[in-house]
């Protein structure tokens, strides 16, 4: 197994694990802020879409014109690190989920043909937690699992049974 195929496998595993939990929550609950929580399912899913794009695509290659259709600059801003779950500019749960799915499919279509010789290069945009492009790809599923845990917690706070 190559470094790239191992990273892709982990990225896809984390996404399937997260999606298994997301799909059990009705879209109408995606913007409910539980009493003691500071986030929503909608923000978490949008943030994961934004982060997967930034970490798995934008740090490996330049942003393209087609990327605006994949995930808009407005979406990237709405779900960025310092964004607020209450300021989502009218995004619906369905739209957020579509972007979440679309970005993941793009990652799975681009990464298998990414040159191994580029994996040890610095990412195009620096990040404090990794210094190489393979490091970015290895970080992506870890980041997703952190937010999957937050999604699982929000699910429980919304009254859903745990998924094991």
Task: Give residue 84's pLDDT.
Answer: 80
CATH superfamily, region 3-157: dinb family like domain (1.20.120.450)
Query: Comparing 48-52, 87-91, 126-130, 135-139, which segment has the lowest mean pLDDT?
Result: 87-91
Tokens 């407005």 found at = 74
What percent of the chain has a predicted confidence (pLDDT) above 70?
98
Task: Give residue 87's pLDDT.
Answer: 67
What CA–CA distances, in Å, run from 97 to 55, 61, 62, 64, 130? Answer: 18, 24, 24, 22, 28
Whether 124 shows a pLDDT value over 80: the answer reads: yes
Task: Give residue 35's pLDDT.
Answer: 75
Task: Give residue 90's pLDDT.
Answer: 85
- Give which of 9, 103, 1 is closest to 55, Cα–Cα: 103
Tell me, rounded to whole angstroms, the distance of Cα 45 from its chain centroid. Answer: 7
CB atoms within 10 A of CB 115: 10
CB atoms within 10 A of CB 80: 13
pTM confidence score: 0.89
Whether 107 shows a pLDDT value over 80: the answer reads: yes
Task: Give residue 69's pLDDT.
Answer: 95
Q: Domain ranges in the chain?
A: 3-157
- Give which of 86, 85, 90 is closest to 72, Cα–Cα: 90
Query: What is the tens place of the pLDDT at every residue in 7-64?
Result: 999 999 999 999 999 999 999 999 987 777 788 999 999 999 999 999 999 999 999 9
Residue range 53-78: mean pLDDT, rounded: 96
**Cβ-contact 122, 131 below 8 angstroms:** yes
Mean pLDDT of all residues in the chain? 94
């Amino acid at each position: 197994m190559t470094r790239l195929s191992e990273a892709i496998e982990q990225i896809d595993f984390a996404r399937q694990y997260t999606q298994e939990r997301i799909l059990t929550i009705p879209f109408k609950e995606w913007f409910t802020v539980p009493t003691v929580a500071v986030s929503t399912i909608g923000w978490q899913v949008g943030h994961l879409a934004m982060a997967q794009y930034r970490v798995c695509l934008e740090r490996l290659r330049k942003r393209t014109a087609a990327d605006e259709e994949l995930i808009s600059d407005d979406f990237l801003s709405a779900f960025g690190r310092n964004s607020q779950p209450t300021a989502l500019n009218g995004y619906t749960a369905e739209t957020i989920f579509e972007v979440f799915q679309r970005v993941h499919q793009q990652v799975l279509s681009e990464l298998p043909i990414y040159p191994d010789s580029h994996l040890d290069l610095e990412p195009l945009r620096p990040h404090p937690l990794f210094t190489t492009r393979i490091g970015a790809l290895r970080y992506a599923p870890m980041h997703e699992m952190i937010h999957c845990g937050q999604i699982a917690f929000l699910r429980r706070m919304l009254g859903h049974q745990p998924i094991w």
